[in-house]
Amino acid sequence: MQNNTITTYTLGKLRMYDECPQKYKLCYIDRVHIVEPLSQTNTGNNLHNIINYYLKGNDVTKLAEALPAGDKILWYNFKNSDVKNYKILESEYPFNLKIDEYWLTGRIDALFEFDGNYIILDWKTGTGFTPEHVKFQTSFYLLCMYEILRLKKLVKTPEELSMQYLNLAANSKISIPFTQELYMQYRKQILGIITSIEEQKNFYCNKTPACRQCKYYRACPYI
């Protein structure tokens, strides 16, 4: 950027640029306002809050009993997952860190310790979840949390950190290991995106079949 304003980069911003640079430009630079229909944005929030309270050591028995039948199943799946064997370190953990001259900020669902290693945990309540849907989230969280844990002298190598997704609807778990090679790959990827944004070049549209579902479809000069 050509000013003295400190820009912080979130997962949402970087993921949007990765999906479509023109969408990023319309949203964050041109600040095009699109009125969207009301949606059920609170879906899953109650369960998420209960899990957060539970991990912080609070008694959530009455809250869990008040959940709808479907959410009770998801809650049961969470309580009976491998999480019960982990040591909770942080829940709803916000972070800010500087990599090179850039600031990254975000929030993870939870951080655990197990068998001398650290686990970033993220739980999903919807159906149709696959690792492909969260590949950018995975790289962002692993890179950021590794840098933070390394600064705190809690880890020495990327192999001491991993990412786990709990698919509560399917009652399944996906574990994603971290390595030095992946660390270098993720660092290059994320810093490359930030550099492109900072230079304000190549805000092209990716022109995919998903364009028609984009809320900026009618505002896009490439369509």
Provide the pLDDT for residue 2: 46
In three-state secondary structure terms, 45 is helix
Per-residue model confidence as pLDDT tens digits over 75-87: 999 999 999 999 9
- pLDDT above 70 coverage of the chain, percent: 93
Amino acid, res. 161: L
β partners of residue 105: 10, 96
Q: Does the pLDDT value for residue 42 go beyond 60?
A: no
Provide the pLDDT for residue 141: 97
Full-model pTM: 0.89
Q: Could you give all domains of the chain from N- to C-terminal order, each with its CATH number?
A: 8-219 (3.40.1350.10)
Per-residue model confidence as pLDDT tens digits over 160-201: 999 999 999 999 999 999 999 999 999 999 999 999 998 877
Task: Give mean pLDDT, residues 39-54.
Answer: 76
CB atoms near residue 204 (< 10 Å) = 11
φ, ψ at 117 (rounded to 5°): -120, 170
CB atoms near residue 91 (< 10 Å) = 18
In three-state secondary structure terms, 6 is coil
Handedness of CA 150, 173, 138, 108 (dihedral sign): negative
For helices 69-79 and 45-55, what crossing angle results, to 10°?
Answer: 30
Task: Give mean pLDDT, residues 88-92.
Answer: 96
Provide the pLDDT for residue 50: 94
Per-residue model confidence as pLDDT tens digits over 113-141: 999 999 999 999 877 677 777 889 999 99
Provide the pLDDT for residue 223: 79
Using alpha carbons only, what angle is made at residue 212 by residues 206 and 217, rounded to the nearest 5 degrees? 75
Per-residue model confidence as pLDDT tens digits over 150-160: 999 999 999 99
